A and B are shown apart, each in its own frame.
Chain A
Amino acid sequence: MNLKPSVLDLNWAEVETKIKRFVKDYVENSKAKGIVLGLSGGIDSSTAAALSALAIGGKKVLGLLLPEKETYNKRDIEDAKLVAEKFGLKTEIIDITPALEAIQKTIPAFNHEDKLCKGNLKARIRMVYIYYYANRLNLIVCGSSDKSEIMIGYFTKWGDVAADIAPLMDLYKTQVRKIAEHIGLPREIVQKPSSPSLWPGQMAEEEIGIKYETLDLILYGLEHFMKTEEIARQLGLEKVTVDKVKNRWKSMEHKRRMPLTTKIQYRTAGFDFRLPHHSMTH
């Protein structure tokens, strides 16, 4: 297999159709009234929102803008509104700062210096708001996680990843940019560098330590059972760089699965409860 960038090219019209069909089918079968999702103004949530709107109509999609003081970014809010306007979504802005501060105050062990723990708390608080709306209004929560993030575990457990459906989860980050472009997302959003915005100045590629264009090809190679030596050779990378990505992929399996238990009885959740997945309601 030749790991050239074009291996990530897909038939974007076909991908759009498949995602729309999946979203529509799920919402219809669950008998929910529509979709709710967090809208950050970034590429992933903008794309998930736009595709949801194209699938079931913008009027049935609620985008929640959930900013907080520390990472407040005017441009992100404007971008989120731009997407909402273009695809006809309903939106609501809720400043999560008071909730965040209230929770921080009640945690005896809270440490302001620990930006990762604080950042994860923000993602989990957003999840609480999103699920409240889902519950209250009978909506399906649409996640925005992409395949690159899911593979390397670059997300908050029970935070941003918490959702009922994740229509972008089989598309690498660079592929999300392509589908976003295909469905007509504004160029400034498509090209905006990715950030989880858990703390000020956090940039995804900087933190991961590798450009998405390269990361996605490494992950594509791993997906296709390629050996790390071969991936490194083809991409002109040190083997240790590719091994690091592979180890990260493997070590993050705990974030992708049901919580592990130890098997005691006949049939067990996460092991051998193997039932068909039916569309759900809250």
Chain B
Amino acid sequence: MKEKFKIALAQISCRREDKKANLQKIEEYAKKAKKQNAELVVFPELSLTGYTVRDEIYELAEKIPGPSTSIIEKLAKEIGIHVIFGMPELSEKTEATVYNSAVLVGPEGFIGKYRKMYLPTHSVFEEKRYFRPGYEVGAFKTELGKIGLTICYDIFFPEVIRLTRLEGAKLIVCISASPAIRRTYFETLTTARAIENAAFLAYVNLVGLEDGLQFWGGSRLIGPNGNIIAKAEYDEENLVVGEIDYADIRPVEIFVPTLRDLRPEIFEKIKVKTETL
């Protein structure tokens, strides 16, 4: 397993309902990332289809593994890179049950998928109308260490990131489609999640306009002590590369031992209180 590697944050805008165009862009950015010696490139939430596709989701969703993941697998193999991207996933057992998923593939093929657990259905968001939530966190063993996958609104729920960390992920990736009014929340929470878990956190947001929503970009790689290692521009398509060195976790974990100090009984109480909220 590599202790040190470069990760590229591919902050792109998507052409809605046009998988072909988006796959082309993913290929273009993955190649750019490889040129900058990145071993992992991350794309935003639902980057295969665009975020605001509403009822068209039923036309666009695919099984995982499926046709689009095969294309990405081929790409990953061809250029020798790991890729994380978002897509609507059609359940294997039904005809129209869809998940908002993140997919991880590597040079050796498909590695894993994560189904978004927290689906925002308030304000401009209507995800519960379209998606079934996932029930498991995603942490996958790779040659780049164990990588955790989370999606957007999950970041508001520290327990999701915590559990992903406790599964052994030292790099937690959060792919996102966040419109501009939420910028402050995400800028605060991404840093908090990195610090409280003594982990690297890679946040990759969409840019561009969809249905009047302006996605703000601002993707970033945050170190375990909360420092921003790499940051993409606001509002513009951008590819930035940052280095992850897992050796940086140890001193932080000693300095602020949040993992050592975890209290399991608190989680029991949270469970009980949540059930009776």
Contact = CB atoms under 8 A, between A and B. Distances in A.
Interface stretch (B37-45, B136-144, B191-199, B204-212): B204-212
Contacts of B53: 276
Nearest to A17: B235
A107 interface: no
A275 B180 contact: no
Interface stretch (A18-26, A113-121, A184-192): A18-26
A136 interface: no
B214 A276 contact: no
B55 A25 contact: no
Contacts of B208: 25
A276 B126 CA distance: 12
A277 B212 contact: yes
B271 interface: no
Nearest to A18: B214
B180 to A, nearest CB: 7
B56 A276 contact: yes
Contacts of A278: 16
A21 B235 contact: yes
B167 interface: no
Given A274-B55, A275-B54, A275-B56, A25 B17 contact: no
A274 B130 CA distance: 11
Interface residues of B, number: 18
Contact of B180 (A18, A273, A276, A277): A18
B53 to A, nearest CB: 5
Contacts of A21: 209, 214, 235
Contacts of A26: 209
Interface string B17-38: 1000000000000000000000
A277 B214 contact: no
Nearest to A273: B55
A25 to B, nearest CB: 5
A162 B52 CA distance: 24
Interface in B143-181: 180
Contact of B214 (A22, A274, A275): A22
Given A276-B16, A276-B17, A22 B209 contact: yes
6 contacts: A22-B209, A274-B54, A274-B126, A275-B54, A276-B50, A277-B211
Nearest 10 Cβ contacts at the A-B interface: A274-B54, A277-B211, A25-B209, A274-B55, A276-B54, A276-B53, A276-B52, A275-B54, A276-B16, A275-B55
Interface of A: 17-18, 21-22, 25-26, 273-278
Interface of B: 16-17, 50, 52-56, 126, 129, 180, 208-212, 214, 235
Given A18-B214, A274-B129, A276-B53, 19 more contacts: A17-B235, A21-B214, A22-B209, A22-B214, A25-B208, A25-B209, A26-B209, A274-B55, A275-B54, A276-B16, A276-B17, A276-B54, A276-B56, A276-B210, A276-B211, A277-B52, A277-B211, A277-B212, A278-B16
